[in-house]
Amino acid sequence: MLNRNTSRRRFARTCFVIALALGACLDAEDPGNLVPKTVVEDPALPQISIAGTKLHAEAFGDPAAPLIIVLHGGPGSDYRAMLPLRALADDGYRVVFWDQRGTGLSQRHDSSTYALPGYLEDLRLVIEHYTTTPDQPIMFIGQSWGAMFATWFINEYGDYNGRVRGAILSEPGAFTKAQLDVYLDELMAAIPLTAEQFNDALWSRQFMSAADHARADYLGGLLAFGGRPSEVQDPNNKAPFWRSGTVVANSVFALVETHGFDFTTNLAAFPRKVLFLRGALNTVVTLDHQTKLAASYLNAEIVTIPNVGHEMIWETADEYLAHTRAYFQQIGFTGGLQ
Amino acid sequence: MNAKNLIIAGCLLVSLDARAQEVNLSSLDAEPNRVHVTTGAEYGFVAGAGYSRVLPFLDRKLVVTGEVMLPWAALDVSDYRLRLGALVPIVGPGRWKLAGSIAWVLRGTESTINTMTDVGVDAALLGGFYDSRWFVAGEVGADVALTTKITHNDAYRETSHPDAMDGWYAGPGANLRAGVQAGVAFARYDVTMRVGQVRDVAGEAPLLPFYGSLALGARW
């Protein structure tokens, strides 16, 4: 009996120690532990509400000045590495940054809530949110997926009643589903199976599951950190980001896989000149690749920035801004009050 | 290589491991010692080696197991998995048998954003037809990360999240698996294979949604 009581006490003590230890543990789901808080978790963050969601968004410059709508990549990235474009506010523009639905510091949603028409409508509603006059000019600056997103809008809405004066498209991957398939094949082929980061991402799935948005975004960030090999990022000047949107990224890819897309059907009717800016070091988004995409526009120019890859806005901000200003001047998109 | 990695590398070099989950349950009355080497894909391309010992346990046989596994595609001794456990036949006096296994798991990794060390438990049920020369069986199992210590590196703090919390995280994840395994014996040597699918606790497929391995073992 004594031995049995002793065993029970030991067992109870062990259970207590384990419970105490686990109780002192952190919770991966708690906001801010693994990834930054969203606008829902930290209401002090700059935000706007549209179409049933809260978007992390901020704008710089005079509200009545011509709008520059900045579109980040992904889908599932955020605008942090595009913040050097804020300098354009000093030139007399209203520069609008926003994390697209479900990514960056914007509100998270279940995958079942995403639909392609709604995703496009978000962009239109963001434009309208920041519009102060009915004929306020608009310019898109989109990187990667953001450049595809801008093209999607232009294909759908044309120049939006004369308001869209142009677009700067930095390394869009594809304008059609067929182009996307080729692009993704080349992108994946450029990732060696023996790459350390890729294998670390595989191995890490034993340590953590993507059971909620925080963990899914954290694991997604592990894979995306530093970019893909073909994008040739500067290891000494890594492009910053807040937080991946893993669920929305997977959802949008699943939607385009299911429904397909073609953003080129009306592009030839877009009367404005479009500037393609690409980094010379990117091994997948080559000059030939961008030339094929640019052919869908009536009037497009391609400029290659030397000695930089995909993250040209962050890594060579001055040169990117110089090309941007030259383009604005060329097409007559002038800053200041309209 | 820092001191921690040297210690881990040393442990791996001297470790005697085995793989209780690929045992022919009809051969437990024969040789009590087993070693094997294995390679395959399981959360990455992996290779391992091991030792197991068959012990009497009440009126049954107990296979005590130790295992070490390293991903080899990008060999880095910061990435490792150590497993210590046991397998015991539950029912099946004939050639149809059912067995259960449970193992403690210690694993580590160092990535571009963090260093993680995890303590977990792996439990499995195996059932199938076990002849003395060959076997084929089904396998279902759960690999649960009980607690994971995460230390974020400077790059992650500078580039993404300065306030990321370091420490032990409780119950950060689990993966379920289901598959088949089969093996044949030649004298005192065994060739075994496993294939199956993996889903995380949320029902989603992880980056590598399957596992598969080929093992060569010897008994004495």
Q: Tell me the pLDDT tens digit for each residue of A60-97.
A: 999 999 999 999 999 999 999 999 999 999 999 999 99
Put simply, whether A326 touches B (Cβ < 8 Å) is no
What's the pLDDT band for B25 if we cut at 50, 70, 90? confident
The answer to whether B120 and B108 have CB atoms below 8 angstroms apart is no
Q: Which of A220, A173, A105, A149 is nearest to B112 (CA)?
A: A220
The model's pLDDT over A95-131, given as tens digits with 9 standing for 90+, comes to 999 999 999 999 999 999 999 999 999 999 999 999 9
pLDDT (0 to 100) of residue B58: 84
The model's pLDDT over A297-336, given as tens digits with 9 standing for 90+, comes to 999 999 999 999 999 999 999 999 999 999 999 999 998 7
Of B158, B161, B200, the CB nearest to A209: B200
The model's pLDDT over A270-288, given as tens digits with 9 standing for 90+, comes to 999 999 999 999 999 999 9
Q: Which residue does chain B place closest to A26, by CA atoms? A: B169
Q: Which of A184, A175, A189 is nearest to A142 (CA)?
A: A175
What's the pLDDT band for A206 if we cut at 50, 70, 90? very high
What's the pLDDT band for B54 if we cut at 50, 70, 90? very high
Residues of A in contact with B200 (CB under 8 A): 205, 209-211
Percent of chain A clearing pLDDT 90 (strictly above): 81
Of A22, A34, A226, the CB nearest to B164: A34
Q: Which residue does chain A place closest to B199, by CA atoms? A: A209
Return the residue in B75, B112, B144 with the most chain A beta carbons within 10 A, the one to mutate for interface testing.
B112
Q: Which two tokens stand for residue B190?
A: 């065994």
Question: What is the CB neighbour count within 10 angstroms for residue A137?
Answer: 21
What is the mean predicted confidence (pLDDT) over B182-189?
91
Q: Which residue does chain A place closest to B69, by CA atoms? A: A203
Return the residue in B105, B109, B158, B201 with the most chain A beta carbons within 10 A, the one to mutate for interface testing.
B109
The model's pLDDT over B79-114, given as tens digits with 9 standing for 90+, comes to 999 999 999 988 877 899 999 999 999 999 999 899
Dihedral Cα B111, B117, B119, B125, nearest 10 deg:
20
SS3 A83: helix
Q: Which residue does chain B place closest to A218, by CA atoms? A: B113
A194/B73 Cβ within 8 A = yes
Of A22, A206, A211, the CB nearest to B107: A206
Put simply, whether A225 touches B (Cβ < 8 Å) is yes
Q: Which of A217, A284, A210 is nearest to A249 (CA)?
A: A217
Inter-chain contacts counted by CB atoms under 8 A, chains A and B: 150
Whether the pLDDT of residue A230 is over 90: the answer is no
CA distance B92 to B96: 6
Paired strand residues for B136: B129, B182
What's the pLDDT band for B3 if we cut at 50, 70, 90? very low
B170/A25 Cβ within 8 A = yes
A204/B111 Cβ within 8 A = yes
Put simply, whether A22 touches B (Cβ < 8 Å) is yes
CB-based burial of residue A144 (10 Å sphere; 0-12 exposed, 13-18 middle, 19+ buried)?
A: buried
Q: Using the structure block, give the residue that is written with the tokens 């961008």.
A: A290
A210/B112 Cβ within 8 A = no
Put simply, whether A29 touches B (Cβ < 8 Å) is no
pLDDT (0 to 100) of residue A3: 59
What is the mean predicted confidence (pLDDT) over A52-67?
97
CA distance A33 to A30: 6
Percent of chain B clearing pLDDT 70 (strictly above): 90
ipTM, 2 decimals?
0.88
CA distance A142 to A129: 19
**Residues contacting residue A152 through CB under 8 Å, at least 6 positions apart:** A120, A261, A263
pLDDT (0 to 100) of residue B6: 41
Which range has the worst mean pLDDT, A21-25, A218-222, A260-264, B175-179?
A: A21-25
Residues of A in contact with B114 (CB under 8 A): 222
Of B160, B163, B207, the CB nearest to A240: B160
CA distance A76 to A182: 20
A200/B74 Cβ within 8 A = yes
Q: What is the sign, positive or negative, of the torsion defined by CA atoms of A119, A124, A128, A131?
A: positive
Summary count for chain B: helices (H), strands (E): 2, 10
User: Residue A8, by phi and psi: left (phi above 0), alpha (psi -120 to 50) or beta?
Assistant: alpha
Q: Which residue does chain A place closest to B80, by CA atoms? A: A203
Whether the pLDDT of residue A337 is over 60: the answer is no
Return the residue in A27, A42, A206 with the most chain B beta carbons within 10 A, the one to mutate for interface testing.
A206
CA distance A327 to chain B (A): 31
Taking CA atoms, B74 is separated from A192, A203, B155, in Å, by: 10, 11, 21
B161/A36 Cβ within 8 A = yes
Whether the pLDDT of residue B145 is over 50: the answer is yes
Q: Which residue does chain A place closest to B158, by CA atoms? A: A240
pLDDT, mean over chain A: 92
What's the pLDDT band for A15 if we cut at 50, 70, 90? low
Q: Which residue does chain A place closest to B114, by CA atoms? A: A222
Of A28, A193, A201, the CB nearest to B207: A201
